[in-house]
Chains A and B, each alone.
Chain A
């Protein structure tokens, strides 16, 4: 069984600062993918970044980077230079075979 844990229900960050969202996972599969999605108040699910279990380098997409520590089974998301538009719910997710499972989410509020 696979499990994704996000321990931070909510976070506040000052505009232009960086924020790290924690995610740990558990799976017995050797091949898996890790994702982060953003869900603004409008409700749509927006893909942010992907990391494969065999990727040796941490993934980066613009202001988003994924800090992948395989031995610790963690896949933290770092958002640099936060903007007001980053205020949203953020979900960590993992895919193995035909299953894509999500963590409970972290609400990020960016303050001006």
Chain B
């Protein structure tokens, strides 16, 4: 059983398209995150959700819209994709209080051409 699963693993798309990345966790965690890892491997937090509510939005462009239909899912929709959006996107979840490890999905490698 995969604890945090992301789909798709790879995504190649053209500039201007709209795409979604799905994330599901079966750990019963309250908090979920989206991270962007750029070509220099820096992991930048994008969003943090707690029990379906947006807690943190780290100055992410409006083209990125997270959706949490329930606390087990946190999907990421990206409109009007740009070349600079190419990166690996990680979903993660953790329990509250967040004093134990966060579990990560396998990542989605997004390539915008």
Are chains A and B native binding partners rather than an unrelated pairing? yes
Is the beta-carbon distance between A45 and B90 smaller than 8 angstroms?
A: yes
CB of A94, distance to nearest CB on chain B (Å): 10
Q: Which residue of A lies closest to B96 (CB)?
A: A98
Which A residues are in CB contact (< 8 Å) with B27? none
Residues of B within 8 A of A98 (CB): 31, 48, 50, 55-56, 98
Main secondary structure of the interface of B (DSSP, over half): strand
Chain A interface size, as a band, is 20 to 34
| Chain B interface size, under 10 / 10 to 19 / 20 to 34 / 35 or more | 20 to 34
A105 engages B41 (CB within 8 Å): yes
A50 within 8 A of B: yes
Any chain A CB within 8 A of the CB of B62? Answer: no
Q: Is A19 an interface residue (CB 8 A)?
A: no
Q: Is A100 an interface residue (CB 8 A)?
A: yes
Contact between chains at B107 and A35 (CB < 8 Å): no
- Asked if A76 CB lies within 8 Å of chain B CBs, one says no
Given contacts A52-B99, A95-B94, A100-B102, contact A43 B88 (CB under 8 A): yes
Within 8 Å CB of B20, what residues of A?
none
Distance A47 CA – B101 CA, assembled complex (angstroms): 7
Shortest CB distance A65–B (Å):
16
Beyond the given pairs A91-B43, A102-B42, A102-B45, 17 more chain A to chain B contacts, judged by CB atoms under 8 angstroms and listed by A's residue number, are A31-B97, A33-B98, A33-B99, A43-B106, A43-B109, A44-B104, A45-B90, A45-B107, A50-B100, A52-B99, A89-B41, A93-B102, A100-B48, A100-B94, A104-B40, A105-B42, A105-B43
Binding site for A on B (CB under 8 A): 31, 33, 35, 40-43, 45, 48, 50, 55-56, 88, 90, 92, 94, 97-104, 106-107, 109
A residues near B, CB below 8 A? 31, 33, 35, 37, 39, 43-45, 47, 50, 52, 89, 91, 93, 95-102, 104-105
